[in-house]
Amino acid sequence: MGINFDATDHAIVERLRENGRATNQQIANALGLTAATVSARIRRMEEADQLRVVAESDFAAHGYDLLLRMTVEVAGRPASDVAQELAALPEVFAAHLVTGRYDIDMLVALHGTDELGPFLLEKIGRIEGIHTVNPAIIIDIEKYQFDVVPIGVEN
């Protein structure tokens, strides 16, 4: 069930985008509200599945020096089943069913090139239904953000 965002909701979300660790009291002080109001509004947005506060982590800080975008073509098995198996692999941090030439698009994080062969041969290669895999090494990240949903933007 959707909720209508008003100016106060937008202001709260903007404060959380600026500082996801801000307390309800800090947000309330900045916006001239009470902490109880901020807490209630955040809870309402979360319960409506229209807001989720998450932590963002840096890949390199955790030793992941090789990021890959992989496209997968499936044959002889439902792509959704293959995507579920791929998504269960710890190295896969995003898996999407897509339209077009390929059936699945995914993002993979590895510690280094020495993990690439075992990942492709021992993990990906053992999943039934994979016809082709096209890995592309990500050279640089230009944009990686979670706050991309245009809340309240009119079409």
Please report, for the chain, the start and end positions of each structural domain, with discontinuous segments joined by +.
7-47, 60-137
130 DSSP β-pair partners: 74
> Check: CATH 3.40.50.2300 for 60-137?
no
Residue 13 to residues 100, 132, 152, Cα–Cα distance (Å): 35, 42, 11
Who has greater pLDDT, 141 or 37? 37
Q: Bigger pLDDT: 3 or 91?
A: 91
pLDDT > 70? residue 45 = yes
| pLDDT computed for residue 55 by the predictor | 63
Name the pTM for this structure: 0.64
Q: Provide the CATH number for the domain formed by 7-47 in this structure.
A: 1.10.10.10
Model confidence at 56, pLDDT cuts 50, 70, 90, reads low
Q: In the predicted model, what is the mean pLDDT of residues 130-149? A: 80
Q: What are phi and psi of 105, to 5 degrees?
A: -125, 135
